[in-house]
């Protein structure tokens, strides 16, 4: 029995190029799928970062308010100490004279 090899060879060569094309399509699909998954992860990370930024901003505002109050208190203490110093110096001068 004689087989005609030419049609078989043509079929095999076409199936090889089809397999390569299918392999490329599968590779492209995986890249797109991974990119979509990466985008979802990135979106989750951005949402988490926004939440953290909001919390930090609130804490910074609280600290800023506390520091402003502390500064006012320190100014008041400084004025009191300076006044006490002036009274002490005046008392010493009166005591010496």
Distance from C-alpha of 73 to C-alpha of 76, rounded to nearest angstrom: 5
Distance from C-alpha of 81 to C-alpha of 89, rounded to nearest angstrom: 12
CB neighbourhood size of 23 (10 A): 10
For residue 16, what pLDDT is reported? Answer: 65
Query: Per-residue DSSP letters for 9-69?
Result: HHHHHHHHHHHHHHHHHHHHHHHHHHHHHHHHHHHHHHHHHHHHHHHHHHHHHHHHHHHHH
With tokens 């600290």, the residue in question is 63
Eight-state DSSP code of residue 18: H
Eight-state DSSP code of residue 78: H
For residue 11, what pLDDT is reported? Answer: 65
For residue 4, what pLDDT is reported? Answer: 67
pTM of the full structure: 0.52
For residue 14, what pLDDT is reported? Answer: 67
For residue 34, what pLDDT is reported? Answer: 79
For residue 37, what pLDDT is reported? Answer: 78
Pick from 19, 42, 38: nearest CA to 30: 38
Average pLDDT by stretches of 10, the chain with 97 residues: 61 68 78 80 89 92 93 96 95 88
For residue 10, what pLDDT is reported? Answer: 66
């Amino acid at each position: 029995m004689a087989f005609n090899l030419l049609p078989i060879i043509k079929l095999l060569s076409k199936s090889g190029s089809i397999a390569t094309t299918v392999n490329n399509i599968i590779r492209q699909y995986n890249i797109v799928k991974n990119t979509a998954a990466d985008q979802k992860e990135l979106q989750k990370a951005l949402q988490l970062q926004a939440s953290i930024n909001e919390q930090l901003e609130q804490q910074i505002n609280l600290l800023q308010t506390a520091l402003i109050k502390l500064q006012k208190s320190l100014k008041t203490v400084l004025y009191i100490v300076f006044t006490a110093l002036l009274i002490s110096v005046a008392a010493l001068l009166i005591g010496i004279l």
